[in-house]
Structure 1
Amino acid sequence: MKDNFSKQADAYARFRPTYPDEAFDFILSTVKAKDAAWDCGTGNGQLAAKLSGHFTSVFATDISEKQLGNAVKRDNIQYIVASAEENSFTENQFDLVTIAQAIHWFNFDNFYAKVRSVLKNDGIIAVIGYALLEIDEATDKVVQKLYTDILGPYWDKEREYINKRYTTIPFPFDEIKSDQQFAQIMKWSADDLMNYMNTWSAVQHYIEKNNSNPVELIAEELHRTWGNDPKKNIRFPTLLRIGKSLKQRPGA
């Protein structure tokens, strides 16, 4: 598992989008019991905080101690520095395992073996994330210029899983699908958007190699395209895969 976000942990906590309540409610509707949940790759604890209002105990892990230092604090959340594949959780411990915008960094085989072990018989795994943002045609072109033309070579290969909207990740579970397409809407200024883009791992890779910030290359064009609107709706399409462990199949 890679750690691409410790350097910008504070900005990550402030500017990363949240997840739509409708998607979260759908995840909860698939879970029979709500005793314990594990939020893996929790980052700044966004999803762990939501889970804490519904589960007796929430265990949230991440390999970045700096990320956890910026995480949302709740009495029933226990934050642990640990990898997705190697930790001290025990068999049949969790009703739900969630992974928010992180599954593409994991060793799939090792992680899924761990998930099958720690999930209870009726346990659920929920993979959630968000695709590249959408605003309007003109502004989207500027975002694409940064995302593809400037940063294309600087994205880790795992980013392709998000470009494919998690449809190509291995998912060896009995899948539960929703008929609804979810999305999170944020109301941001142009500066908010640039602050968010500064949290991209590819931006950090670019800075490390070139000693300059690529977001500045599109800043003037972005503000010109933005126009006079103080804030605009920023749409993040939700990525969602939900399933039950294969061990729950009859005879498995």
Structure 2
Amino acid sequence: MAPKDLFSAQSGLYKKFRPTYPPELYQQLRSLLQTHELAWDCGTGNGQVAAELAKFFTHVHATDISEQQLSKASASDRITYHLMPAEHTTFPDNSFDLITVGQAVHWFDFEKFYQEVNRVAKPGAILALWGYGVLSISPEVDALFNHFYSGTVGPYWDFERRYVDEGYTTIPFPFQEEPAFTGAITAQWALPDFEGYLNSWSSVQSYIRKNGENPVNGFMEQVKEVWPENETKEVRFPVFSRIGRIKK
């Protein structure tokens, strides 16, 4: 089965409005490694994670199936971007000290991806999978948001979204587990930030394709009743992870 590409169409929105991960996540990953030569960021999207890894790795290879997403990635002489699926790469055996997947592994074929991980990872390398859950802002906004998430666009999420809702606790993970990173992404958002983030959702794009209208427009009118247009609010996303060491 061909891998799903659900984010090319809104790649610009994705780069502008998707949240960024806390620095403590990268600090924890760095502490688990003895060498920092080569990293692979799978499902890199617009290269957000790859850019952070390049701060402490000699070189980073970053892969994605979306040419549009990769076109938005920042150029760096320490990052090489590849248009290829995570399950089938051209990397040599025993290459990587660290393999990362941020908010993407639920789209992969787990069995084939893990076979590739075992092939290209160095003995003792780290595999880190993480994502972020449903945001919270305020009781008034959250009540509207939760109805929109589960009710309005709920039927338009692909089935893989359940792995995110379950905090990756139900994905297969055949590796020696290290302590998971838990924390939160926090940001200060105005209404346009919130609206842009919603429009980057795959479920919203599916809704538009099927119904010919954008459900975010009506929803934002409701939100404006409890969120003044000139006001910024703190947005919080819980971060979850599975981190493992690859034994050979």
Distance 1:200 1:161 in 2: 16
Structure 1: which 5+ residue stretches go unaligned?
A: 248-252
Tell me which residue corresponds to 1:166: 168
Contact 1:61/1:79 (8 A) holds in 2: yes
What RMSD, in angstroms, separates the aligned Cα atoms of the two structures?
Answer: 1.1
Task: State the Cα distance separating 1:227 from its structure 2 match.
Answer: 3.4
After superposition, residues 61-80 of structure 1 pair within 5 angstroms as: 61-80=63-82
Tell me which residue corresponds to 1:213: 214
Which one-letter code corresponds to 1:156 in the other structure? Answer: D
Tell me which residue corresponds to 2:134: 132
Distance 2:77 2:132 in 1: 28
Distance 1:228 1:115 in 2: 47
1:114 and 2:116 correspond? yes
Tell me which residue corresponds to 1:240: 241
Which secondary structure does the structure 1 equivalent of 2:215 belong to? Answer: coil
Contact 2:123/2:247 (8 A) holds in 1: no
Pick from 131, 140, 143: which aligns with 1:141? Answer: 143
Which one-letter code corresponds to 1:204 in the other structure? Answer: Q
Which one-letter code corresponds to 2:61 in the other structure? Answer: F
Pick from 43, 53, 58: which aligns with 1:41? Answer: 43
Tell me which residue corresponds to 1:250: none
Distance 1:136 1:177 in 2: 30
Distance 2:167 2:240 in 1: 6
Structure 2: which 5+ residue stretches go unaligned?
A: none
Contact 2:182/2:241 (8 A) holds in 1: no
1:105 and 2:103 correspond? no
Contact 2:101/2:128 (8 A) holds in 1: yes
Distance 2:117 2:143 in 1: 39
Tell me which residue corresponds to 1:199: 200
Task: State the Cα distance separating 1:228 from its structure 2 match.
Answer: 6.3
Task: State the Cα distance separating 1:122 from its structure 2 match.
Answer: 2.0
How big is each residue's C-alpha offset from its partner over 1:29-81, in whole Å with a ceiling of 9 and x where there is no partner?
Answer: 11111000000000010000000111001000000000000012211100000
Which secondary structure does the structure 2 equivalent of 1:192 belong to? Answer: helix
Distance 2:199 2:28 in 1: 31
Contact 2:93/2:121 (8 A) holds in 1: yes
Contact 1:32/1:122 (8 A) holds in 2: no
Which one-letter code corresponds to 1:90 in the other structure? Answer: P
Length-normalised TM-score, structure 2: 0.97
Distance 2:172 2:31 in 1: 23
Q: Which portions of structure 1, spanning 4 or more consecutive aligned residues, are displaced by more than 2 angstroms?
A: none
Contact 2:157/2:202 (8 A) holds in 1: yes
Tell me which residue corresponds to 2:224: 223
Q: Which moved more, 1:141-150 or 1:158-167?
A: 141-150
How big is each residue's C-alpha offset from its partner over 1:200-219, in whole Å with a ceiling of 9 and x where there is no partner?
Answer: 00000000001100111211
Which one-letter code corresponds to 1:107 in the other structure? Answer: D
Distance 1:212 1:68 in 2: 28
After superposition, residues 83-102 of structure 1 pair within 5 angstroms as: 83-102=85-104
Task: State the Cα distance separating 1:229 from its structure 2 match.
Answer: 5.9
How big is each residue's C-alpha offset from its partner over 1:87-144, in whole Å with a ceiling of 9 and x where there is no partner?
Answer: 1011110000000100000000000010011111121000011111111111111111
Which one-letter code corresponds to 2:146 in the other structure? Answer: Q
Task: State the Cα distance separating 1:190 from its structure 2 match.
Answer: 1.5
Distance 1:228 1:3 in 2: 34
How big is each residue's C-alpha offset from its partner over 1:210-249, in whole Å with a ceiling of 9 and x where there is no partner?
Answer: 11001112111111111366211100111211101242xx
